[in-house]
Homo-oligomer: A and B are copies of this chain.
Amino acid sequence: MIYRISEFAEKCGVNKETIRYYERKNLLQEPHRTEAGYRIYSYDDVKRVGFIKRIQELGFSLSEIYKLLGVVDKDEVRCQDMFEFVSKKQKEVQKQIEDLKRIETMLDDLKQRCPDEKQLHSCPIIETLT
């Protein structure tokens, strides 16, 4: 099973420009080419893009994924490295959650300051923030 870029992109569920973009970013290695220079992909490449997309959804940036793929491609000490990578991201996500919770509390505090009669012209929220 081999694909040219359009079919490949479709299989991956992304735009073909995105494939070229990932190639520029070295998330995908240089693909094989036809004599005319057309890119050729295999099903393994589909799996690789699937991996990128799934881990991206877990909050990893493309540059993090690039580093991660370096480890995966080297095929060394993968388990340890993956565990640390995921643990680090988990801590980051936990921190983001805490930050957002604080913000949510503040937004709620602001709402509490509003009078029942909301047609008033002096706004306590604005006064609190200025």
Residues of A within 8 A of B (CB): 47-48, 50-51, 54-55, 57-59, 72, 75-80, 82-83, 86-87, 89-90, 93-94, 96-97, 100-101, 103-104, 106-108, 110-111, 114-115, 118-126, 129-130
Contacts and interface: CB of A to CB of B under 8 A. Distances in A.
Contacts of A77: 119, 121
Contacts of A121: 75-79
Nearest to A52: B129
Task: Decide if the interface of chain A is mainly helix, strand, loop or mixed.
Answer: helix
A100 B115 CA distance: 33
A78 B127 CA distance: 11
A111 B115 CA distance: 48
